[in-house]
Structure 1
Amino acid sequence: MNILVYGAGVLGSQLAQVLVRGGNDVTILARGKRAEELERDGIVIRHVFQFKTTIDPVRVTRSLEEDDAYDLIFVVMKYNDFPSVLPILAANRSSNVVIVGNNADARSMQTFLEENSRVEKKVAFGFHVSGGRRQEDRMLSIGGAGGQMVIGGLDGEIAFKSILDQAFEKTKYKLNYLDDIDAWLKSHIVPILMLNGVSFNEKREMIKLDGNRKQLQHMIGAMDEGFGVLEAMGISIIPEIQAKLIRKHQRMLYFLLKIYSVLPLYKLVAGSFGEIEALNDAFNGWKKVTHMSTPHWDVLKKEYSNLK
């Protein structure tokens, strides 16, 4: 199957490797030094928990032209980068697109593609469940041997589900199809925002959590407030266990966060300042719609965060 992975960061590289090893004809879109690395060395990934490094050759392109044709396009990038890519996708003649990553605005992205594309676009949304970071000429990955993506359509079953199943048929990768992917994505934003929003210094550099009792208690309260905002908008919390953990097992969550604050794991799951800032803007919009107060989140932003 002819597949394009649009985005050559950590998660895009991980996904491309899975698809290559599944016997697909994979092209990865990269630019600059990253494109040169991929052409010279292939996809080099250091699997942290498996204590191994894998190298997989891959075809590289630096652009998506109007007449390039792919059976599937996976767009794997940060939330704040999606808007710049949508016009390029709309101009291309490929039909089946999966937008992968944190997403607070899936509906408007789908609407843009439906209204501005030269051919009918069939759109799904997903999240590649993994993490990692770049280290010199390779990517560090904390994903398992197979990997997983939660994925779904906004209007019922994905129209090209059979094509997706075929692309991953010979891999150990799991596609976890959800009926309400938009609710899952919005629910996921709450803990991501509360964990990452307090982790940048004035230079927008990632730092560890302070891990003090006051900060962690405010983080737990802020997550509860965030889920409350979603519920006020009529959005289900998916998976439901997230809200139950925060509301019924705060002591357990406190100790989990305490452990998280002292381990270097945060470096492998952290977002970028630009993405967290964009997600915060979306969350502020939800707050305005619901008129919900968020005193814990307000304290976190005032005392620990550089977000506005």
Structure 2
Amino acid sequence: MKKKILIYGVGPFGSLFAERLSEAGHAVSILDHGQRQEDLKKYGIVIEDVSTKEQTVIRLPVVDHLGEEDFYDLVIIPVRKNRISSILPSLAANHKVSTFLFMMNNAAGQNELVAALGQERVMIGFPLPGGYLDGHIVRMLPVNDKKPITLPIGEPDGRVTQRMRDAAEILNSMRGYQTEIRRDMDAWLKTHVALLVPTFVPAVYACNMEAKHFAETRDARVLSVRALHEAFRALESAGVHLSPPGIKRLKYVPEPIFVFLLSKLAKTETFHNAVEDLKTKPDEIKHLANEFFELIQTSPVEMPAINQLTAYIFQNQEPMTSGQKDIPLNWKGVYGILAALTVAAGMYRMIRK
């Protein structure tokens, strides 16, 4: 069924969602401010697939603001977390919209959103796959129609409601997407921030925001792995369960293997795309880092790697030297695997006799 939808914030994700929802037959309007608003009026939404370099252009109604009496079946808000406080008053002033779907990084929880709009109007999720704005052109990772991307969404309190199912049906109408309704969306968002912001992001900062530099600099990758373990321990000790549960498996990857895999990841298109996106949002990264530290302030976990790395977010640290590898690797996990394989081999020989 055709729905009336507003995309509030037309960056990379908002652009792609607007295109796909319109393609699915919904009545989509878009709202942004400043230069982005002017570009949307002049050029429309221009999306380039970073793999094929193919571009699509779509023109949709551009609205200047959300009025108090404006009705939409769904308002999707894929904006940076540090900009939310400034737009909440205009959202709260509206009396007709029943569901605002916030799709963004968020380690602070949902209290601010719920206080402004009421729990019955707040829904949370996370946008994927990834992209960045280059002038008026949105450069996006490809969305494979045969392997749909999963969009996680949930209620702030973890309930599964009818309006949640209704929103999922709308999102499922987008080509290349499928929706996952989660009961732990708040924990999912906090884990996602812990996974990236105090760990891999500042490690990339330490490498002068260059993927090649990161791939060649073992010390940056070692610190990012150790910071990840610290972040997960701190999060759990602060009472937040890791989500999705499978993310815990990263704890058991031996450090040398993890560090090696990161060097390979840094050479991929996905990593390059993420780095280009990071260059556009230093303000959000600082905001999220502060949210993370506020979240785990009661944790007794020591965080030497996180403290060393996040200095690259909050201070003007000189980048690491490309190729730097002064930090010794921790081979303990690898030795454990080798020992287990040796025991298994011995047992196999005994059985064969």
TM-score by length of 1: 0.89
What are the equivalent positions in structure 2 for 1:24-173 lying under 5 Å apart? 24-93=26-95, 94-114=97-117, 121-146=120-145, 147-155=149-157, 156-172=159-175, 173=177
In proportion to residue count, which structure has more helix?
A: 2
- Matched residue, 1:187: 191
Matched-pair contact (CA < 8 Å) for 1:4–1:73: yes
Q: Alpha carbons of 1:169 and 1:296: their partners in 2 closer, same or farther (altered >3 Å)?
A: closer
2-structure distance, mates of 1:57, 1:176: 29
Of 237, 247, 252, which aligns to 1:232?
237
Gaps (5+ residues) in structure 1? none
Q: State the TM-score, normalized to the length of structure 2.
A: 0.78
Give 5+ residue unaligned stretches, structure 2: 316-353
Q: Give the Cα–Cα distance (whole angstroms) in 2 for the partners of residues 217 and 83 of structure 1.
A: 36
Deviations 1:184-235 (A, max 9, x none): 1111112221121233479xx8444544222211110100110111111222
Report the CA distance shift for 1:226/1:290 in structure 2 as closer, same or farther (over 3 A).
same
1:177 maps to 181
Among all aligned residue pairs of Structure 1 and Structure 2, give the percentage whose two residues are the same amino acid.
26
Residues 101 and 158 of structure 1: is their aligned pair in 2 closer, same or farther, counting only changes over 3 Å?
farther
Amino acid at match of 2:111: S
Name the CA distance, whole Å, in 2 between partners of 1:22 and 1:158: 24
CA distance in 2, matches of 1:26, 1:229: 42
Change over 3 Å in CA distance of 1:168–1:288 after alignment to 2: closer
- Which residue of structure 1 aligns with residue 299 of structure 2? 290
Q: How many Å separate the matches in 2 of 1:210 and 1:256?
A: 12
Contact 2:203–2:220 (8 Å) recurs in 1: no
Alignment-derived partner of residue 314 in structure 2: 307
Give the count of matched residue pairs: 300
Partner of 2:227: 222
Q: Distance in 2 between matches of 1:11 and 1:248?
A: 31
Aligned with 2:105: secondary structure? coil
Give 2:155's aligned amino acid.
G
CA contact (8 A) 2:4 2:27 kept: yes
Q: 1:171 to 1:107 in 2, by over 3 A?
A: closer
Q: Which has the larger radius of gyration?
A: 2
CA contact (8 A) 2:227 2:305 kept: yes
> Is the 2:106–2:190 Cα contact (8 Å) retained in structure 1?
yes
The aligned counterpart of 2:285 is 276
Correspondence 1:14-29 to 2 at 5 A:
14-29=16-31
CA drift of 1:264 comes to 6.0
Alignment of 1:228-267 (within 5 A): 228-263=233-268, 265-267=270-272
Kept in 2: contact 1:2–1:72 (CA 8 A): yes
Distance 2:127 2:133 in 1: 17
What do residues 277-305 of structure 1 show as CA deviations (whole Å, max 9, x unaligned)?
Answer: 01111121133222321011112234xx1
* Distance change >3 Å, CA 109–CA 134, structure 1 → 2: same
In the aligned structure 1, how far is the partner of 2:253 from the partner of 2:270? 26
Secondary structure of the structure 1 residue equivalent to 2:203: coil
- Offset of residue 84 of structure 1: 1.1
Secondary structure of 2:17's aligned partner: helix
The 2-side partners of 1:243 and 1:170 are apart by 32
Amino acid paired to 2:101:
V
Partner of residue 11, structure 2: 9
Pairwise CA RMSD: 2.3
Q: Deviation string for 1:231-266 (max 9, x for gaps)? A: 112221112332312333433321221123345644
- Residue identity in the other structure for 1:91: A
User: Does the C-alpha gap of structure 1 residues 259 and 58 become closer, same or farther in structure 2, counting only changes over 3 Å?
Assistant: same
Distance 1:86 1:198 in 2: 33
Q: Tell me how far apart the structure 2 counterparts of residues 157 and 89 of structure 1 sit (CA, whole Å).
A: 24
